[in-house]
Amino acid sequence: MAQRIDMPSVGQTTDELVIVEWLKKEGDTVALGESLFSVQTDKAQVEVESVAAGTLLKVLRDAGDTVQAGSPVAYIGAPGEAVPDGSGAGSAGIAISVGVSEIPKPALAPRAGPERRSPERVPGRVAALPAARRLASALGIDLTALAGTGQDGVITVRDVEQAAQESSVLADDLERGAT
């Protein structure tokens, strides 16, 4: 069954967000934790990550649309799977998380049925926020060596920063021991 993706509530001062850009197109494969679209809040532009894996079957709202938090914006499921007419009636929504560390993490809506998979269950993929992936790449940190402290064990920017700090301290200790 196709999973409805709802607009998250990312700000404490607004319930309406503007979709700035879709980072995936209909028919694209979407991985768990992958950035799906970006939104403009009253304070910042943030990327919204998918908590469902599959094919982006249908985009219900276009870039530039103002969308109320909790309203359906897309469907993700198996390729060729039928989706409801777009009204969202009769389908449970999936809350999605925001991959930006400077925005307070919103409370997620109740989890929908057993179709939702936790990040650790996706074969061959390390569960990490996109910002954490970029930082780890820039610092040369191996994400497979880290234990995530985020929801469901997702690696956060803070986890990468701590690993970088620990490796810096270790390098300093080794340097002092060599002299």
Q: Order across the sheet with 93-94: list the strands.
A: 29-30, 54-59, 72-77, 3-6, 93-94
62 and 95 belong to one structural domain: yes
Considering 64, 86, 117, which residue would you say is the last residue of a domain? 117
Query: Could you tell me the residue range of the domain that residue 73 belongs to?
Result: 1-117
| pLDDT tens series, the chain, 179 aa | 788 988 887 766 667 888 999 999 999 999 988 999 988 877 778 888 887 889 999 999 999 898 888 899 999 999 888 887 654 444 444 444 444 434 444 555 555 544 444 444 455 678 888 888 888 888 888 888 888 888 878 888 889 888 888 877 666 666 776 65
8 and 81 belong to one structural domain: yes
pTM score of the predicted model? 0.49
- What local confidence, expressed as pLDDT, does residue 173 receive? 65
Characterize 119-147 residue by residue with b for buried, 16 or more Cβ atoms within 10 angstroms of its Cβ, and e for exposed: beeeeeebbbbbbbbebbeeeebebeebe
Considering 89, 117, 145, which residue would you say is the last residue of a domain? 117
- What local confidence, expressed as pLDDT, does residue 170 receive? 65
Listed residue (61, 69, 65) closest to 15, CA to CA: 69
12 and 46 belong to one structural domain: yes
Q: CATH no. for residue 71? A: 2.40.50.100
90 and 59 belong to one structural domain: yes
59 and 138 belong to one structural domain: no
- What local confidence, expressed as pLDDT, does residue 90 receive? 41
- The half-sphere exposure of 143 on its side-chain side, counting CA atoms within 13 A, is 23
- What local confidence, expressed as pLDDT, does residue 52 receive? 85
The DSSP output letter for 100 is -
- What local confidence, expressed as pLDDT, does residue 62 receive? 92
- What local confidence, expressed as pLDDT, does residue 102 receive? 41
- The half-sphere exposure of 29 on its side-chain side, counting CA atoms within 13 A, is 1
Q: Quick one: CA dihedral 91, 97, 103, 109, positive or negative?
A: positive
Q: CATH no. for residue 167? A: 4.10.320.10
Spatial separation of the C-alpha atoms in residues 108 and 96, rounded to whole Å: 7
84 and 4 belong to one structural domain: yes
55 and 38 belong to one structural domain: yes
Domains of the chain: total? 2
CA 147 vs CA 50, 71, 99: distances in Å: 21, 33, 17
- What local confidence, expressed as pLDDT, does residue 115 receive? 47
56 and 113 belong to one structural domain: yes
